Amino acid sequence: MLLKHALHKLSQERGERYTVCDYSQTLDWDGLRQKIKKEGIRNSNVMAIAPTATISNIIGVSQSIEPTYQNLFVKSNLSGEFTVVNPWLVEALKRENLWDAAMVNDLKYFDGSVKKIDRIPENIKALYSTAFEIEPHWLVEAAARRQKWIDQAQSVNLYMSEPSGKKLDNLYKTAWSRGLKTTYYLRSLGATHTEKNSTPVDQGVAEQTSTVVGSASQNEVQGSLSNHNPQTTQKAGDDFELAKGQEAPKMCSILEPDCEACQ
């Protein structure tokens, strides 16, 4: 039984209501089926698609069947940390005379996204969307088209910037009804990920905003210190008195935006 025929069998078992698959083909698979019946096949399983994250970074290509995670990011593994940049985006920006230090700063500020960098043309923005900027429904649809020709399974990572129970329920029901055997990781953005607005400036968005953000944070800290109430601190100290020589426990701080526990 070839893969296309397996989909028909799945539809019969579940019912057409619960199996929404694409059965189109462009090659002579029926002829191949007859050839296998006559001559046999060497292996019972012939194809699976695995993730290739580290390997793809080494040779400078995209990660297997996945969209680009970010156009500029830092990857950490047992070998250390190294910067990953999308070389195709770099070439496209160079052709437009847009690749400079300010562009690098903007990509860092916007977490590798080009959507809010005003001086980048719309056609480049559309072509170099990151994984979180692509509707995950289309990742499932693309995986479903591949699945009918894959006798084992695929490691299909799904990306959702703002997941919810309803969204996830609809997404995984769609994957099931399309005949996917598996999905892999579900990746979402951290809770502390904030919206970043762009400003059409020549020297780069990051250079303009870094000073403003830093000043605001400093003012907030100074304001909180000026409103400091010793009596409140004393009362809290009475409830959580430490033993002699004992160090105060480390706790999360709202003033520390890079706290990994909040990601």
User: Are 83 and 41 contacting, i.e. CB atoms less than 8 angstroms apart?
Assistant: no
Cα dihedral 169, 171, 175, 177, rounded to 10, equals 60
> How high is the pLDDT of residue 210?
40
Whether the predicted pLDDT of 120 surpasses 60: yes
Categorize the per-residue pLDDT at 98 as very low, low, confident or very high, splitting at 50, 70 and 90: very high
The string of DSSP letters for 181-245 reads: -----EE---TT---------TT-HHHHHHHHHHHHHHHHHHHHHHT--HHHHHHHHHHTPPPTT
Please give the model's pTM, rounded to 2 decimal places.
Answer: 0.66
Assign 94 to helix, strand or coil.
helix
Domain ranges of the chain: 1-42, 49-213
Give residue-wise pLDDT tens across range 10-31. Answer: 888 888 778 888 878 888 888 8
Residue 40 tokens, joined: 């046999």
Helix (H) or strand (E) segment spanning residue 256: none
As a whole number, the mean pLDDT across the chain is 77
Over residues 227-254, the mean pLDDT reads: 51
Q: Is the pLDDT of residue 124 over 80?
A: yes
Most confident segment among 23-32, 142-151, 203-212, 215-224: 142-151
Tell me: pLDDT of 104 over 90. yes
What is the structure's pLDDT at 215? 36
H or E element at residue 62: none
